[in-house]
Structure 1
Amino acid sequence: MKKILFLLLIIANSVVAQNAENLFSTANDLYKNDKLEEAIDLYKKIEDQGMVSSELYYNLGNAYYKLNKVGPSIYYYEKALKINPLNEDVQNNLVFAKRLALDNIEELPKTVFQKFNENWLQKLSYNQWAIVVIVFSFLGSLLFLLFYFSNSPSKKRFYFATSLISFILLIFSFFITYNQYTFYKKNKEAIVFAETTEVRNAPTFNSDEVFTLHEGTKVIVLDTIDNWNKIKLADGKIGWIIASEIKLLNE
């Protein structure tokens, strides 16, 4: 009975994947023919099925960019980079999309570690770092077995040294994976979707306005109270914004 259920599950997943592939192809054709709204509807149907990818979000970002919708275009480019930070096409298009945003926010100076983390460690997502962990664990185990069964002293020294290096790299990559995962969960990034919105000093409508934000600006969500989110900007400014006017990237 379990085997039948497992087989049915495989067949169902295969059908869903094939359907998503067909929808993706159709959506791409619509996009090429400038039927952008229809293409977006099909891309989102694929997203609803859970068949997400960097390419899917990249195409969604492109479609919204052509429609001059700054917030959604930046949002989907950012989501594409969450899946594949090395996607150069997304990186380039995100630069162009950000030029359409009205807010020019200067980032606070970063420490050496923060720069190293952003410029190097975050080039891979935590899922990709997890793959690195698996590779080093497999490689270390294989080299240790070769060391154990080898009869030559020179080979034993070589396999022992390389297996030791692999296990050290395994520990470092595991540590990086854990840190990247923790960073991803703690830093709840969001994009402003409202054309213009006022940020206040408290989660009430009668509180004072501290600054104004526009569509496409990235913020960090620090806290949530009712339908308000406490946010922080790259320049360190903090305030409260209506939750419906931003969209979380980590959803």
Structure 2
Amino acid sequence: MKKLLILLLFVAQSVFSQSADELFTQANEKYKSEQYEEAIKLYDQIESLGVVSSELYYNLGNSYYKLNKVAPSIYNYEKALLLDPLNEDAQNNLVFAKRLTIDNIEELPKSVLQKIDESIVKKLSYNQWSMISVGLSVLGSLLFLLFYFAYSPSRKRLFFVTSMISFLLLITTSIFAFKEYSFAKNNVEAIVFAEETEIKNAPTLNSENVFTLHEGTKVKVLDTVDNWRKIKIADGKVGWIISNDLKLLNNF
């Protein structure tokens, strides 16, 4: 009975994978023939199956960009980069999509540590850092075994030094993976989808307007109260926005 269940599960996964692959192929064909709305429907079907990837969101972003839909294109490019920060095509197209936005927000200057963090740690997702950590743990273990069984003093020294380097790199990449995981879970970001929305100084409709945002702007979500979210934009300004006016990025 147990073997039958395992077999059925394997078959179901195989069919499920084929279905997603077929939909992806069909969606790409629709995109090539400039049927962008049809392509989007097919890509959405793949997402509804729970099969997500950087390529899927990149293609969705391209489809929305072709339809001049600013917020959805930026949203999907950002999602693609969350899954794979090294997706250069998504990085480049995101730059073009952001040029269509109205808000011109000047970012606060970054400290040296923040610049180092962006140029090194944030180049990979926590999943990618985790995979590197696993690879280094295997490499370090193999090198240590070679050190243990080596007879030549020079080889012992070589394997010992390289195994120690591997373990030091393992510790470093593990810290990076943990840091990025904590950042991904605690740092909630969103894209404004409303064509234009007033940001309030309190989570009520009759509160004072503090500034205005337009579709496609990326914000950091600080808090949630009822149907309101407290946000912070790149220049440091803080305010409250109606939840329906934006869409969260960290909702895989």
Aligned to 1:231: 231
Partner of 2:17: 17
TM-score by length of 1: 0.98
Give 1:7 deviation, angstroms. 2.2
Counterpart CA distance in 1 for 2:40 and 2:48 is: 12
**Long gaps (5+) in structure 1:** none
Q: Residue deviations 1:183-219, cap 9 Å, x none?
A: 1112101000010011000000010000000000000
The offset of 1:221, in angstroms, is: 0.3
> What residue number does 1:158 align with?
158
Equivalent residue number for residue 76 of structure 1: 76
Equivalent residue, structure 1, for 2:57: 57
Identity over aligned residues, as a percent?
Answer: 66
Secondary structure, in 3 states, of the residue corresponding to 1:219? strand
Aligned to 1:180: 180
Distance 2:137 2:151 in 1: 23
Question: After superposition, what is the alpha-carbon deviation per residue over 1:36-83, rounded to whole angstroms, capped at 9, x for unaligned?
Answer: 111101000000111111111111001101111100000000000111
- Alpha-carbon distance, 1:2 to partner: 2.7
- Whole-angstrom CA distance in 1 between matches of 2:103 and 2:137: 45
Count of aligned residue pairs for this structure pair: 251
CA–CA distance in 1 between the matches of 2:162 and 2:179? Answer: 26
1:210 aligns with 2:219: no
3-state SS of 1:23 partner: helix
Paired residue for 1:98? 98
Match of 1:192 in 2: 192
Which letter maps to 1:147? Answer: F
2:39 corresponds to: 39
User: What is the CA–CA distance in structure 2 between the aligned matches of 1:4 and 1:82, rounded to whole Å?
Assistant: 38
Superposed counterparts of 1:134-145, under 5 Å: 134-145=134-145
How many angstroms does 1:220 deviate by? 0.3
One-letter identity of the residue aligned with 1:27: A
Cα distance in 1 between the residues matched to 2:154 and 2:88: 44
The CA RMSD measured in Å over matched residues stands at: 0.9
Kindly provide the amino acid, as one letter, of the partner of residue 141 in structure 1.
S
Q: Deviations over 1:2-28 (max 9, x none)?
A: 332222212111111111111111111
Residue 167 (str. 1) matches residue 178 (str. 2): no
The answer to whether the aligner puts 1:113 opposite 2:120 as a matched pair is no
Residues in 2 aligned to 1:168 and 1:119: alpha-carbon distance in whole angstroms:
20
Give the letter aligned to residue 21 of structure 1.
D
SS at match of 1:166: helix
Q: Tell me, which stretches of 5 or more residues in structure 2 are unaligned?
A: none
Report how far residue 149 of structure 1 moved. 1.4
Q: How far apart are the structure 2 equivalents of 1:214 and 1:159?
A: 58
Question: C-alpha offsets along residues 69-103 of structure 1, whole Å, 9 cap, x if unaligned?
Answer: 10000000000011111111111110000000000
Structure 1: distance between partners of 2:82 and 2:157? 41
Deviates more, 1:73-82 or 1:31-40: 31-40
Paired with 2:145 and 2:64, the residues of 1 have a C-alpha distance of 53
Which amino acid in structure 2 is aligned with residue 90 of structure 1?
Answer: A
